[in-house]
Chains A and B, each alone.
Chain A
Amino acid sequence: MRALLGTVLGLPLALMLCGLLAAILPVDWRQWLVLYLLLSVVLWSALITLAALPASHWRTAVWLVAANGAAWIVLQTTGLYGAAP
């Protein structure tokens, strides 16, 4: 169950965390898009592994939902979404 939660909620979280990295780095994300996608896959797998550590399913779900929400809010403070090249 925790692995399933990690699989479903880990994907958007991994992509948003790597998106935050793209927003921080001084290099245009378009120039390293393939690496971004590969990094996201590795992070997604790592998040599935981490999702198994909390003591209960509920804790995993709460942590993942909260992390997704926080990442999404922080992402809105960056100019990444729809930014012109």
Chain B
Amino acid sequence: MKANTLRKHIDLHGWLGMLAGLALFVAFFAGALNMFHEELHHWQEPYVAESDGGEGDLQALLDQVLAVTPEAAKLMYLVPGDDPVALWQDADQEWQFDHASDFNAAGERVKKPRSELAEFINELHYKLALPVVGLYLMGIISVLYGAALIGGLVIHWPKLKKEFFALRHQGNLRRYWKNLHNLVGVISFPFHAIFAITGAAMGCFALLALVAGTLVFGPQLQGAITDATEAWPTPRASGESAAMAGVEAYVAAARAELPDLRVDWIELQQYGDRNAVVDVAGSVPGWIAHHAHVVLAGDDARTLTVTSPGNRPFNHAALSPVYSLHFGDYGGLLVRSLYFVLGLLGCLLFFSGNVMWAERRTDRQGPSRSAIIMLRVTLGVTFGVMAGLAVSCLANKVVSHSPWAGAVAWSEKGAFLAVLLLTLLLALRAAPLAMCRWGLRGCIALYLLVPLVQGGLEGFASWREPHIHLVNTALWAVAASLAAVEWLRVRRLRRAGPHPLWVPAPPAPASEAELASS
């Protein structure tokens, strides 16, 4: 490849990485924690020692929701668990949810304030917690990320083997960041390629459908998308009411079709109507594309269609791995832990990429305002997000066990935002090297502290509960990862001085006399 072309690819890779890097850092860090989303849902609630961990009664929940909210019969999802959840659309098509524990013995809805920590982390992951535009923004960011990956592949392909063993300490600090960036990028390239494609497909789906419908396929595309993505067409209410078979019958009918099915949710449409349709959706273990749907008639639970691995249209077979490869939910705890580690390594990749961009700009053009601002913003956002999420977890536990438990959801989000803004302000003022040192050490301390505070407030016996144990282990793993980065940073600084960008320039001599004396 010509040197000029290679230089253009390097420039593009740097610029795209810089543009998308911070958003991707937030998405990857939140995404790494989100690998334990279900466990976080348990962790965020005050620990109850006497919980038997058994499945809650879905039929009772369904009956209670319909008794107080008949319009929920149009479209509702039931999610099983020890405290099952019903999600339904109200008259304004807004999604609402009820837990089984939201109803008292008389069947009245008694809503109690709940933590939204797991959902907040999820929203940070897929839309940076930004309303309306967040999802589309992350879709575009994913496309840019894909372009940066293609550029990275073009740059590194010829020297791939050499760079695999290139984490050396000679030279200046920038060389070290570059080697680290290359090593992490090469190791985790397939993982990043999966995320770039599936993330872009999910985030830009509406945009792709709009442009393809306008330019390529015309109005027929909408119907084709519905056929390609839905297990069964949306039924219309007939207006005739009918007796329903019930949740137990639906699950039994689904298991008769697919004996290995693990039920993840049950979708009910026009429940109570003669045309009611029930989709028992879940997973068949042992497949990457593990999603399965058994669609049943609501009245007598007769099977309408079954889509499962090896028995579904090509579109469904292509769509299933888009989700499973993105969410890493196809191989149990081992694969989720691998995704967690690769997610944290991704954070290191984006951080080191931004640092390299700033240092490279300084090397080429001398000290520049844009480079130092980029470095400071990178430090502020990365440490702000990490510290913010740890403080959010702390706020969850402290506020849940205080007289202000009703404000727990606000406190989680407020704590995150306050810490993020404060850290960003601090990064814009403090010396970058000091910010890096204290930022890392502060985050390590916070992630070590969260499980201790949880155990202190809820009893250390709670650590034996598998979900709490897993989340606490993940938080300590984040602390351990940051400690490893701190160890590398200290060792590197001991062996060679930092890049000039990291150290504030000494003040210029004030007068000619001072110049002469110096």
* A and B associate in one complex: yes
Given A41-B201, A45-B150, A53-B5, A3-B16 contact (CB < 8 Å):
yes
Category for how many chain A residues contact B: 35 or more
B205 within 8 Å of A by Cβ? yes
Given A3-B12, A6-B147, A33-B228, A41-B314 contact (CB < 8 Å):
no
A30 and B227: CB pair below 8 A?
A: yes
Number of interface residues of B (CB under 8 A): 45
Q: Which of B19, B149, B216, B313 contacts A81 (CB 8 A)?
A: B216
Say which one of B93-101, B217-225, B485-493 lies at the interface with A. B217-225
The smallest beta-carbon distance between B8 and chain A, in angstroms, is 6
Taking CB as reference atom, which chain A residue is nearest B319? A34
Say which one of B32-40, B138-146, B448-456, B508-516 lies at the interface with A. B138-146
A41 and B216: CB pair below 8 A?
A: no
B225 and A15: CB pair below 8 A?
A: no
B217 and A3: CB pair below 8 A?
A: no
A41 and B208: CB pair below 8 A?
A: yes
Q: Which of A3, A29, A36, A42 contacts B15 (CB 8 A)?
A: A3
Cβ–Cβ < 8 Å partners of B19 in chain A: 3
The smallest beta-carbon distance between A53 and chain B, in angstroms, is 6
Q: Which of A11, A15, A34, A72 contacts B228 (CB 8 A)?
A: A34
B204 and A41: CB pair below 8 A?
A: yes
Taking CB as reference atom, which chain B residue is nearest A45? B146
Give the CA-CA distance A52 to B155 in the complex, in Å: 14
A49 and B314: CB pair below 8 A?
A: no
Given A7-B143, A49-B9, A32-B314 contact (CB < 8 Å):
yes
Given A3-B144, A3-B147, A48-B143, A38-B313 contact (CB < 8 Å):
no
Give the CA-CA distance A3 to B149 in the complex, in Å: 14
B315 within 8 Å of A by Cβ? yes
B216 and A16: CB pair below 8 A?
A: yes
The smallest beta-carbon distance between A18 and chain B, in angstroms, is 8
Q: Which of A3, A22, A34 contacts B315 (CB 8 A)?
A: A34
Cβ–Cβ < 8 Å partners of A48 in chain B: 16, 143-144, 147
Cβ–Cβ < 8 Å partners of A16 in chain B: 215-216
A75 and B150: CB pair below 8 A?
A: no
Give the CA-CA distance A48 to B12 in the complex, in Å: 9
A38 and B197: CB pair below 8 A?
A: yes
Q: A19-B212, A30-B224, A82-B218 are in contact. List 8 more A-B contacts (CB 8 A).
A: A15-B212, A18-B216, A22-B216, A30-B228, A34-B315, A35-B315, A46-B147, A85-B220
B residues adjacent to A (C-beta < 8 A): 5, 8-9, 11-12, 15-16, 19, 140, 143-144, 146-147, 149-151, 154, 196-197, 200-201, 204-205, 207-209, 211-212, 215-220, 224-225, 227-229, 313-315, 318-319, 322
A residues adjacent to B (C-beta < 8 A): 2-3, 6-7, 11-12, 15-16, 18-19, 22, 29-38, 40-42, 44-46, 48-49, 52-53, 72, 75, 80-85
